[in-house]
Structures are given as C-alpha cells and as structure tokens.
Structure 1
Amino acid sequence: MNQVALSLYNPVLEDVDVIVYDSTLRDGEQTPGVAFSQEQKITIAQMLDDAGVHEIEAGFPAVSENEIRTMKAISDLGLNAKILGLSRVIKGDIDAAVDAGVDIVLLFVGTSEIHRRYKMKKNREEILAMVVDSLDHCKARGVKAAVSAEDTTRTELDFLMEVYRTAEASGAARIGVTDTLGCATPEAISKIVSHARQEVKIPVALHLHNDYGLALANAFAGVKAGATAVTTTVNGIGERAGNVPLEQFVVGMKYLYGKDIGIESTKMKKLSDTVSQLSGLFKPKNQPLVGTNVFAHESGIHVAAMLNCPLTYESIPPEAVGNERHIIMGKKTGLNYIKKRLDDMRIETSEEQATEICKRVKELGERQGRVSDREFTRIVREILG
C-alpha cells in the first residue's frame, strides 16, 4: 500500500490547505434525468462524511418543499461535514436555506455582461446592491454565506473584483470563482484567482465545469494560485459535461502533488460505484482511478514485468483508491503469465504443453476478447488429456 512511483518532476504542494465541498447532491443531481430520493441522498451524504469530505452541498432548497425536508434531514444527521445550500441573491431562497438547517448559504449571482443583460436584466450597480442586501439578510438570519460570481470566467475583470470586494466588505465568508461553462484554461483560472487573492483577504473557492475536459486541471491550477476550496462531485457528474471528479482531485492532490487533504482515498471506489448505481449513470470501465479497467492488465510484456514489480505499470497500488488489480487473459496473454497460472493451480506441464495452452488462449481471445477462468481450466484439461 505504501509503494508508489510517480513522475520524478511533479511539484510538491506542502503549504496549502484545501477544503472540498462536494456537490454530488446538488450539481450532480442536476444531471438531466437524475433525481435522488431522500433515502439515497442520506446514503450518499453519510458516505461522503465517512470518507472525510469537509463540506457537503446538500441541495438547492428553493427547488421544492421536499428538497427543504431532505436537506433538513441531512442537516439533522449530526455529520462532521458542514452542510451547504445553494441560494440565489433572493431573500426567499435564503430563508429556505435557513429552514433547511444549513451551516453555510452559497449565494450566486450572474456577473458577466451576457448574464447581466439576458438573465439578470440588471446593471452593475443593481448586481452589487443585490449582493449587499443578500449578505445583510444572511446576517439577520444568523447564517454564514459565501458569494460566487456566476459566469466568472466571462466577467470583466474590473467588475469581478468589485463584486468580490463588495462581498468581503458585506461579511461574506468566502468568494467563488465559477467557470460556469467550463470554457476557461488553467492559465485563465490562475490569473483570476491570483487577482482575487490580491483584492480580498477572505478565502477563494472554485466551482469548475468540464465542458472542455479541463475541470481537474483548472482545479489544480486554481489551488496552486491560492484557492483554498474546491467544488467536486463523485464521478464528476453534473450539468452538461459535469464537474471536478471528487476521486480524481483527492487522489491527485495526495499522490501527484504530495498533499493529503484529509479525505480517505481508499473509499473512493465504493463511493463511485454507489453514486453510479443510485444515479443510474453509466460509469466507463476506463474511468480514471475507479474504473474496472484502470488496474486491469492483459499485454504479455506488461504482465511479465508486473509479476516482478507491479510498479512497472501502476503508479499507485489499486488498494490506494479501493480498487482491485485484474490480470486478464486474452489474445495478448504471454507465456510467463500462463506458467504462473499453472503454478498457482499446482499443475505441472512441459514447456511444449504450456506453449500450446498459451496458443489456445490467444486463439480464443482473438475470437471473443476475454478468456474466463473456467475457459482457461477447460483448455488446460484438453491439452493435458
């Protein structure tokens, strides 16, 4: 379990403290066609908490009365994780979040020129006033609040910084950089976070979408630039192309960047499988870290090397993420693995017999792909008579 072999050139992020606030129950549920029951949400929340996730965004209470009841049930579980609720900069939304028993209200407001004109239908001054009024209402209701600029990455920098300064002056606990359309590069995220860190003293959070496949890279870039909170979802599920995958961010921080953020990586596979099952969303076999193929090997050259040292073709052991190693037999199976399997079965063969068994395995693999243990046993019996 302690043996790892990562790139020799990875930087180490020792002096960073990162909070993960997982949004599987909110943004994850906004995946078209996904609707978790209260029981399912509680199960996922408990598993997230058991893994050590710092904060759980339990939902968007303004959606319905049932959403409020479900979030309240999660809030009443007494979990170690703080419970968060999403809210527009509207008093009714804030009241619903307070009724749901959340620890922190996640306020969001459209700040880009496109959102101001076509969604909010407000000018800059009106947007700033809404931020102030909402934070005042949060204080009046006795609840902490964070402020995220929706569509951050398409917002003019001068106005964006004004939003952040206004939020800080009005008592926000942290401000959020939101790549709503997942259209920013790591360089862009670094620039925005760096500017925000110069403008405000409160923590900077990240909410990043994966439309261009850059959410994870953007999260790492944002953390390196000084962000101290990151939104994730299990398996990266969420609207459109989804979000930063919890399992990839946690394990990446621990092994690629040498920073254990206090979330148990060994519980990622079970979490992944559970969310896949409850959401009804197919999980690819090659899903990074938690897919069934990630630690599966068939190539004879690879397998022969791994029999000597698994680190030849694995940078971390599968147990590090709760996964398992699988050696697959098929058209690419080599003689070394055939001999090992025969030794494991305590079957003695000649070199000629082992070679013939390997040949038959390859032939069957060419016809059907994978050769099962049962089929391998049958081939062995046929060759040995």
Structure 2
Amino acid sequence: MAGVEFRPHDASVIADLLVKTGVSLVEVGMVSGPSSKDADLVLATHETVGPERSLTLVVVRDRRQVEEALDEALRLGVRNVMFSIPTSEEHAALKLASPSSKYLTTVARAAIEGAKERGFHVTFSGEDGARTPRERLVPYVTAGFAAGADRFRLAETVAYLSPWQMEEKIADLTAIDGAEIEIHSHNMLGMAVANSLAAVRAGARWISTTVGGIGERGGNAPLAELLTSLRVIHGDTRFDLTHLTELSEAALRGAGLGEAFQSGPTTPHAFAYELPGQLTHPEAYETLPAELVGNTRELRVRTRLTTPLVDWALDEEAAGLDTAAFTAWLTARQEASGAPLLDRDDIRKAAVDFRSL
C-alpha cells in the first residue's frame, strides 16, 4: 500500500500472530529482480515462521526479468512464489507492453516452468482478473495449470463484481480440471468479504486477506471480518480468533495508520499511489474516479522512490535536474530521517533543496 513500509520486527510479530491464528500462508515482500528491497522482511518472516509458511510475490514483465527475480527468491530461501501477471487487455498493454492473449500465455507459461524447475510451489495470478473476459481468462488459467502451476489467484484488482457475479466467475475456473483457486478482493465497493465468501461457495479453496484490510484501492478483504464471518455463517472453528485484536493493533501500528484503517472510496488513502503507472493511468485501477466521490488522487511514498515516480512528481520542474541522482539523494535522506510520508509537494520542495547543494 502506498506510504506503508513495515520493518523486519513488524513482519516478525505479525507473521507469528498470523500463524498462531491458524493462517496457512503469510505473504511477505515483493521480488522483481536482484537485490530486493524487501529482502529483510522476507528473511525476518522466514526466521519467525519458516519459509514453508511464507509466500513472496514475484513481478512478471518479461523472461529475463523473471529469471533474475526467481534467482533472487532462491537466494532468499523462498519456497512459495506468487506470480503477479496482468490478464486484462488494459493491464497487459500497460505492464507487458502487449494486450495479446497469446503473448500473455507465453509469458506466464515460461515463468511457471522456470519456477517449477527451481523447485518452487507456484501460485500464478490474474491481475485485474475480475474484469478479464471469460474467453480470455479461462484459456490462460488452463494453460497455467498445464505448465505445472499449483494454484491460481483471481485478483479483483479493481473492485468490480457483485457476490453473485463473483460466484459465476469462480465457477468457470473451478471447472478447469485440477484447478486450485484463490480469491483476492479489494474493498472499494465494500464487498471484499462478501465476494470472498461467494468465491468459496463456488469452490475457491484459498482466500487472500490483509490484517485490518490494509491495502490500496479501498483496502483488501479484512482478515478479522473474514474469519468471524466464516465462524458465524459457516461454523468454521479452525481459526483461533483470540489473537485478532492484538494482530490488528500490531499491523496498524507498524503501518503508521493509527488505530484503524478505513475502507471505501472516501478515505484519504483510498486513491493514494506510489507507482508511476498508477498515477499516469488511474483509469486502469479505478472503476470510479476519485473526483466522482469528492476525493483526490494522491502520491504517498516513504522510501520506495524511483526515478520514474520522481519524474512524474516533478513534471516540468524536472528540467535540468539529474533525477536519478536526486532520487538516490532523497531516498538516502528519507532513510536517515525515519522515512516520513512524502506527497508530490514534498518531493518538489526536496528538489529545491537538492538544487541548492
């Protein structure tokens, strides 16, 4: 989530409580290539709950990048990977530089086969899968399992479906021979828990949640609400709910979000982003624009600064500035000063300071 950066100690505490609660897998960190910035979080989680109870996201853009990311995951001792792969035409065009379904399948198959050769348990996703048409999504998922994948995550990257539509979507996927399906919902429309339960009703075996619902675009399916719903509605007693309050407090404290994370489209963080692609192409991530509900789209970042993000923030003010050097300088300053939250104006003010050096 934009502006949220957990420390290794936070990761350890949260992971320990998640496992005590009965959560099967703790998702931690993202790897996109060598020298992952989340390495300390991954290692701290492994030390606390073991790599077999941890899962790490691997970004997929092209074959070479994936190979480097998988090698980094191996170096970190990762056992379970989750490939983030955009499936809708809009997201594939933005992130894979091609909307072609054939190219999408080729990239996914190569990533899955490479991961299985290295001994990973592989989950592959349909990023923006909720908006991906059946005729595009089902062949993609079928090909992924044929390539050796262990699980598929349907990502409702942009809140889009009603529970009954979600049930139909998942039913198409569980009908695939040998398919093990996971649901990952966002809460912009307030239906992440309902959609997760609908997915289970249709045969999904895994639910992706976050503690306190912390996440972008209205938040994710909140763990406490999901587990208590499973207890009340389905009589599911597998989970120890006594840790939930302590867990929520630890996550919110580590995230710097105060006592509560609010979901939905009217909160200050609902349309907060830290990736340049999200800021330059907001229509790919929003079913409703921020302005429609009287909200604003914001940049919020701490130390995950990149040159493209800085270029976006500075816009015309970047003229004559070595933005790569400025980004490195600002990142170092952030790390030295406790990583205060930055918005666009803060970055522009920092550029003035940098020019005066």
Normalising by the residue count of structure 2, what TM-score does the alignment of the two structures yield? 0.68
Aligned residue for 2:39? 68
Give the Cα–Cα distance (whole angstroms) in 2 for the partners of residues 103 and 95 of structure 1.
12
Unaligned runs of 5+ in 2: 61-65, 264-357
Task: Kindly indicate whether residue 53 of structure 2 is the aligned counterpart of residue 82 of structure 1.
Answer: yes
Task: Kindly indicate whether residue 171 of structure 2 is the aligned counterpart of residue 200 of structure 1.
Answer: no
Task: Kindly indicate whether residue 236 of structure 2 is the aligned counterpart of residue 259 of structure 1.
Answer: yes
1:41 to partner: Cα distance = 1.1
Q: Determine what percentage of the aligned residue pairs are the same residue.
A: 27
Aligned residue for 2:111? 134
Give the Cα–Cα distance (whole angstroms) in 1 for the partners of residues 173 and 165 of structure 2.
12
Give the Cα–Cα distance (whole angstroms) in 1 for the partners of residues 249 and 73 of structure 2.
30
Q: Is the 8 A contact 1:61 1:85 kept in 2?
A: yes
Give the Cα–Cα distance (whole angstroms) in 1 for the partners of residues 214 and 133 of structure 2.
29
Q: Is the 8 A contact 1:187 1:221 kept in 2?
A: yes
Pair 1:81–1:48, CA change in 2 (3 A): farther
1:270 to partner: Cα distance = 1.1
Q: Is the 8 A contact 2:7 2:254 kept in 1?
A: no
Pair 1:78–1:271, CA change in 2 (3 A): closer
Report how many aligned residue pairs link the two structures.
256
Q: Is the 8 A contact 2:87 2:129 kept in 1?
A: yes
| One-letter code aligned to 1:74 | T
Task: Kindly indicate whether residue 186 of structure 2 is the aligned counterpart of residue 215 of structure 1.
Answer: no
| One-letter code aligned to 1:158 | E
Aligned residue for 2:11? 41
Aligned residue for 2:304? none
Q: For 1:231, which of 208, 211, 220 is the aligned residue?
A: 208
Give the Cα–Cα distance (whole angstroms) in 1 for the partners of residues 24 and 113 of structure 2.
26
Aligned residue for 2:157? 180
- The Cα offsets for residues 132-185 of structure 1, whole Å up to 9 and x where unpaired, read as 111111122111101111100111211100111001101100111110011211
Task: Kindly indicate whether residue 29 of structure 2 is the aligned counterpart of residue 59 of structure 1.
Answer: yes
- Greater radius of gyration (CA): 1
Aligned residue for 1:98? 74
1:45 to partner: Cα distance = 1.1
Aligned residue for 2:320? none
Q: Is the 8 A contact 2:15 2:48 kept in 1?
A: no
In structure 1, the residue corresponding to 2:32 is in which secondary structure? helix
Q: Is the 8 A contact 2:83 2:125 kept in 1?
A: yes
1:77 to partner: Cα distance = 3.0
- The Cα offsets for residues 290-318 of structure 1, whole Å up to 9 and x where unpaired, read as xxxxxxxxxxxxxxxxxxxxxxxxxxxxx
1:163-174 alignment runs, 5 A limit: 163-174=140-151
- The Cα offsets for residues 197-218 of structure 1, whole Å up to 9 and x where unpaired, read as 1123221001111111110110
Give the Cα–Cα distance (whole angstroms) in 2 for the partners of residues 243 and 270 of structure 1.
19
1:99 to partner: Cα distance = 2.2
- The Cα offsets for residues 86-122 of structure 1, whole Å up to 9 and x where unpaired, read as 0123222222222222221101211111112233222
Pair 1:189–1:161, CA change in 2 (3 A): same
| One-letter code aligned to 1:67 | D
Indicate the RMSD between aligned Cα atoms, in angstroms: 2.0
Give the Cα–Cα distance (whole angstroms) in 1 for the partners of residues 138 and 261 of structure 2.
42
Q: Is the 8 A contact 2:51 2:78 kept in 1?
A: no
In structure 1, the residue corresponding to 2:124 is in which secondary structure? strand
| One-letter code aligned to 2:9 | E
Q: Is the 8 A contact 1:75 1:83 kept in 2?
A: yes
Pair 1:134–1:284, CA change in 2 (3 A): closer
With a CA cutoff of 8 Å and minimum separation of 6, indicate the structure with the bigger relative contact order: 1
Q: Is the 8 A contact 1:47 1:271 kept in 2?
A: yes
Pair 1:102–1:169, CA change in 2 (3 A): same
